[in-house]
Amino acid sequence: MHVHIQMRRGPMQRVHLYKSVAAASVAIMASSLIAACGASKTTGSDATGTASAGNSDTGSASTSKTLTIPIASGWAEDEAVSYLWQYVLQKKGYQVKLPTLDIGVIFAGISKGSSSNVDVFFDTWLPTTHKAYWAKIHNKVEDIGIWYDQATLNLAVPKYMTNVNSIADLKGKASLFNGHITGIDPGAGETGIVKNNVLNDYGLSGFTVQTSSSAAMLAALSKAIDAKQPIVVTLWHPHWAYKAFPIKDLKDPKKSMGSGDKIHVIAKTGFKTAHPDVYAALAKFKMTDAQLADLENVALQKYKNNPAAGVAAWAKTHQSFVNAMM
């Protein structure tokens, strides 16, 4: 099975910034990274929809027509919807920058208020996944609203593993998986939930969460399925992987991974006043599971390394939806 794995722009080492620094250092790093996000990891789109590098505008929030919408590294739904909004906003005369950053850096940056170069973030999962982050920033950002309400965290295995259907079935089988639950980036909320909740609740001694990145996890999943080898990975809904691979979610009778989340779009403080029209459009924005799955498939799979072109193609076949966004 040859499935395109969406890789991040820039060196993979940058994905792990949150792991390697203390909380105070993260805040400092957020300022410098976000302020300079145009140097190598920021993309914009010209009138033809092709990605092009560019520097973020540093003008005042009240007059600037430039918006910065960071994408959490490796998060498919965030990438797809951020590029969709870039497409829509550019039609309204905005320049939209999409830097790819670690989730910890994004939350630290957007909570800086009017001094932040980060304007909007589309992928805050509540109440479970980002509970720890939210406790620190909830009164320092504007919670615009929920745009997707069917999000879940999951452990998944290939469908050919017929004797493993629940997380409880993993107990005593660590050697079958070489002791690994193949995970994503260490700063992800799901990573902490699996480490702190799932392993203990289900007595999964002998297992550790192998962290790296979403791209590395998906590559490992693809390789294991090609060889029909055992593998268990951290995944989530929505994700295009469920259409690309023959995989199934493991039941979670103890609800250790939560009962489902809703995905919020948030903004830095002052955004509603500075950009009332954009705020109003974001507040009414909703996507169904079918719509988001189709968007991800077109933008991130069919168009592979050119999600901007993929979104433009998707928009042509969903014109009424796109026109109603703003």
> Which residue has 């203990």 as its token pair?
200
Mean pLDDT of all residues in 198-222: 96
The answer to whether residue 230 is domain-embedded is yes
pLDDT at 216: 95
pLDDT at 15: 31
Q: Which of 114, 119, 115, 113 is nearest to 99 (CA)?
A: 119
Q: Same domain, yes or no, for 31 and 124? A: yes
User: What letter does residue 21 receive in the DSSP assignment?
Assistant: S
Q: Which of 14-23, 53-62, 65-74, 233-242 has the lowest mean pLDDT?
A: 14-23
pLDDT at 64: 80
The answer to whether residue 256 is domain-embedded is no
Q: Same domain, yes or no, for 198 and 319? A: no
- Residue 271 in contact with residue 61, Cβ under 8 Å? yes
pLDDT at 107: 98
| Amino acid occupying residue 59 | G
| Amino acid occupying residue 66 | T
Q: Which two three-digit tokens encode residue 193?
A: 């939930």
Q: Same domain, yes or no, for 138 and 270? A: yes
Q: What is the CATH number of the domain that holds 143?
A: 3.40.190.10
Range of the domain at 176: 151-249
Q: Cα(179)–Cα(182) distance, rounded to whole angstroms? A: 10
Mean pLDDT of all residues in 308-314: 98
Q: Same domain, yes or no, for 215 and 270? A: no
pLDDT at 74: 84
Mean pLDDT (the chain, rounded): 85
Classify each residue of 228-245 as buried b or exposed e, where b means 16 or more C-beta atoms within 10 Å of its C-beta: eebbbbbbbbbbbbbebb
Mean pLDDT of all residues in 169-194: 95
49 pLDDT above the threshold of 80: no
pTM given for the model: 0.73
The answer to whether residue 3 is domain-embedded is no
Q: Same domain, yes or no, for 62 and 209? A: no
Q: How many domains does the chain have?
A: 2
Q: Where does the pLDDT of residue 1 fall: very low under 50, low under 70, confident under 90, or very high at 90 and above?
A: low
Q: Same domain, yes or no, for 98 and 34? A: yes
Q: How many residues does the chain have?
A: 326
What phi and psi, each to the nearest 5 degrees, are found at residue 241? -60, -25
The answer to whether residue 294 is domain-embedded is yes
> Which of 249, 283, 299 finishes a domain?
249
| Amino acid occupying residue 221 | L
Q: Same domain, yes or no, for 174 and 145? A: no
